[in-house]
A and B are shown apart, each in its own frame.
Chain A
Amino acid sequence: MKAGVLGKSYNDGDVIVRQGKAGDCMYEILEGTVEVLREKDGKEICLAVLSKGDFFGEMSIFEREVRSATVRAMGEVRAITIDKKTLLRRISEDPSLAFRMIEKMANRIRELDKEIERLNTGY
């Protein structure tokens, strides 16, 4: 890893987050692309592809559930972890810190709505 960079580097195919495992942090992608996969009956379903500026693993910050999906590096990836405790403490001091997260999550809901519509109408 270069001297002047932050976060942690992952190689192509590295699993950053494993479905079903407990988690106490979220990740912000600083460089590269990751795929979000749901593992079911031994098969992998790709739920999303995320890139620089996106975050993942935020559900375990707000829920006491295990990781809902596996996140795998597609090529070289650099990501920084954000601790649950640090984030929740900062949000309690400054709720506006969550604005960007809410915005991103709202975008995801919008995308999911479109997907449901597409599946129901066939368009």
Chain B
Amino acid sequence: MIVIYAISTYNKQSMSTGHKNKKSSEDHPSSSDNNVSQLKLNDNSRIAVVGGGPSGSFFAYFLLGMAERVGLDLHVDIFETRDFDKQGPQGCNMCGGIISETLVQTLATEGIELPPNIVQRGVDSYFLHMDVGSVKIETPLREMRIAAVYRGGGPKGNTDLEWGSFDGYLLKLARKKGAQLIDDRVVEVVWKDGRPEIKTRGGTANSYDLLAVAVGVNSPTLKLFQGLNPDYKPPETTKTYICEYYLGHEEVGNTLGSSMHTFLLKIPRLEFAAIIPKGSYATVCMLGYKIDKELIKSFLNDPVVKKNFPSDWDSDKEDCQCSPRMHISPAKKPFAERVVFLGDCGVSRLYKDGIGAAYRTAKAAARSALFEGVSSGDFEKYFWPTCKSLKNDNAVGKLIFLIIGQLQKIKLTRRAILRMVSSEQKKEGKNRRMSAVLWDMFTGSAPYKEVFFRTLHPVFLIRFMWCSALELWPFEKKRTAIQEES
């Protein structure tokens, strides 16, 4: 079944010290051995993927695809008990459900098309709403390249039979490639003969050559895997708020259109908020510090927000809601011998494009496992650089959000941003500097580092200062005030 190089050496090293789980520590392989390429996947190697969300499905899909190309026969089990066709939080992996422009293009290149029953609405533009006014930012090609999706079967009580789950769709693709779905809960993970062994509620116990942990940050299952790698420290998280309002398909089109609506409002503790059009529903997403009922209410009752909903809309009558935790800081050492942590429970992107990060880490892990090996050293050399680049980029992202937070507080800068974007949107061409910066910030289409460097461009800075100066000019100020009122 399995061929492992240097297995005798490996077993000699497997007596780990200082392991919290005594039972499992006896067989725990030493993670200090960073020799690269000692452990390889071979014909009939067994791989366990715990979690059938995007990172788990992407990993299985790409691993099996690459194995097919090199003529390797692998056995992949995906442990997932959630039925993604179920409505409400039961069948949902709880997130805003935006597939970024970059990811849509990358998936198209991979040959993964997102069918119309999975895409609840194609998004071709963004609205930036502030107390000083609103502006529409359009994609240069005026093309639907952002997908609004539901992770599960949609909000509670929806009667749309054509509804399809994004996570369910990816899981089906992984199964088509040959992955086996195991609908049984993982209750224990131990080391056995230098390999991770998975025990399920149904009473099965199987050992694997590689374990990919893709359980996200909202699952209590994550605790089971912490004992496998003493150096692993789970990511830091923050609470978000997501709710759904039924408006009807036509009304969503009339009020929100094919745009995502983002809000930079001066509401204490609110960092960022958005309304996403999806089928017959509007999804409201909020990010902030200690989100509670008071903060949710002050956002939903803000006049700037209310004007984006029909006049008879009642903010207290949401159809579905959840408060999932969101990854904000990377996990420490998300890999060990024969173990790798993917997506949110490993390293993800700050605030945006979590599914894009799941794709990147899953694919990096699949490449590393298939072409290099599954030792801790292999993952450190070939998988960790992808995680590290996301981690470093998030540090720049934090700085950008800090700056935006400060600019948000000053009315003059809010007006200057609005003025700069409004004038750019009237012109065709590539010189839409502020629009491009905001577009990439809101869509997560470009790395934060790239966005940051674009804001340092002399032309960007001069234009921004010019727009700020115009806002100070008394006649211009008066004209802007009239525009705001209208």
A87 to B107, CA, bound (A): 11
Instruction: Please judge, given known A-B contacts A81-B141, A86-B102, A94-B364, whether A3 and B109 are in contact too, CB under 8 Å.
Output: no
A93 to B445, CA, bound (A): 15
Q: Does A97 touch B at the CB level, under 8 Å?
A: yes
Report which residue of B108, B117, B258 has the largest number of chain A beta carbons within 10 angstroms of its beta carbon.
Answer: B108
Q: Does B106 touch A at the CB level, under 8 Å?
A: yes
Chain B residues near A86: list those with CB within 8 A.
Answer: 102, 105-106, 445
Q: Is the CB of B141 within 8 A of A6?
A: no
6 closest Cβ contacts across the A-B interface? A28-B108, A4-B116, A8-B143, A4-B119, A82-B105, A6-B144
Residue of A nearest to B249 (CB): A3
Q: Does A80 touch B at the CB level, under 8 Å?
A: yes
Q: Is the CB of A83 within 8 A of B105?
A: yes
Q: Does B367 touch A at the CB level, under 8 Å?
A: yes
Size bracket, chain B contacts: 35 or more
A22 to B222, CA, bound (A): 51
Residue of A nearest to B66 (CB): A96
Interface hits, B89-148 → A, CB 8 Å: 102, 104-106, 108-111, 113-114, 116-122, 141-145, 147
Q: Does A53 touch B at the CB level, under 8 Å?
A: yes
Instruction: Please judge, given known A-B contacts A80-B145, A100-B109, A100-B110, whether A3 and B279 are in contact too, CB under 8 Å.
Output: yes
Q: Is the CB of A7 within 8 A of B106?
A: no
Q: Does B457 touch A at the CB level, under 8 Å?
A: no
A117 to B351, CA, bound (A): 56
A74 to B294, CA, bound (A): 56
Chain A residues near B252: list those with CB within 8 A.
Answer: 3
Task: Please give the distance in Å from B84's CB to the nearest CB on chain A.
Answer: 17
Chain B residues near A83: list those with CB within 8 A.
Answer: 105
Q: What string of 1s and 0s marks CB contacts (under 8 Å) between A54-75 and chain B?
A: 0100000000000000000000
Interface hits, A14-44 → B, CB 8 Å: 28, 30
A96 to B122, CA, bound (A): 28
Task: Please give the distance in Å from B117's CB to the nearest CB on chain A.
Answer: 7
Q: Does B69 touch A at the CB level, under 8 Å?
A: yes
Q: What string of 1s and 0s marks CB contacts (under 8 Å) between A87-123 and chain B?
A: 1001001101101110000000000000000000000
Q: Is the CB of B122 within 8 A of A4?
A: yes
A100 to B143, CA, bound (A): 24
Chain A residues near B261: list those with CB within 8 A.
Answer: none
Task: Please give the distance in Å from A108's CB to the nearest CB on chain B.
Answer: 16
Q: Is the CB of B367 within 8 A of A96?
A: yes
Q: Is the CB of A90 within 8 A of B122?
A: no
Size bracket, chain A contacts: 20 to 34
5 contacts between A and B (CB under 8 A): A4-B118, A6-B144, A7-B143, A80-B108, A87-B109
Q: Does B178 touch A at the CB level, under 8 Å?
A: no
A93 to B108, CA, bound (A): 17
- Decide if the interface of chain A is mainly helix, strand, loop or mixed: mixed
Q: Does B288 touch A at the CB level, under 8 Å?
A: no
Q: Is the CB of A4 within 8 A of B121?
A: yes
Chain A residues near B363: list those with CB within 8 A.
Answer: 94, 96
Residue of B nearest to A52 (CB): B113
Interface hits, B58-96 → A, CB 8 Å: 62, 66, 69
Residue of B nearest to A90 (CB): B106
Chain B residues near A90: list those with CB within 8 A.
Answer: 102, 106, 109
Q: Is the CB of B144 within 8 A of A1?
A: yes
Task: Please give the distance in Å from B360's CB to the nearest CB on chain A.
Answer: 8
Q: Does B253 touch A at the CB level, under 8 Å?
A: yes
Q: Is the CB of B116 within 8 A of A97?
A: no
Q: Is the CB of A87 within 8 A of B105?
A: yes
Task: Please give the distance in Å from A2's CB to the nearest CB on chain B.
Answer: 6
Chain A residues near B279: list those with CB within 8 A.
Answer: 3-4
Chain A residues near B445: list those with CB within 8 A.
Answer: 86
Report which residue of B109, B114, B277, B386 has the largest number of chain A beta carbons within 10 angstroms of its beta carbon.
Answer: B109
Residue of B nearest to A91 (CB): B109
Task: Please give the distance in Å from A11's CB to the nearest CB on chain B.
Answer: 16
A1 to B144, CA, bound (A): 10
Chain A residues near B114: list those with CB within 8 A.
Answer: 6
Task: Please give the distance in Å from B320's CB to the nearest CB on chain A.
Answer: 19
A82 to B120, CA, bound (A): 21
Chain A residues near B147: list those with CB within 8 A.
Answer: 6
Residue of A8, A30, A87 near B113 (CB, 8 A) is A30
A86 to B100, CA, bound (A): 12
Chain B residues near A3: list those with CB within 8 A.
Answer: 120-122, 249, 252-253, 258, 277, 279
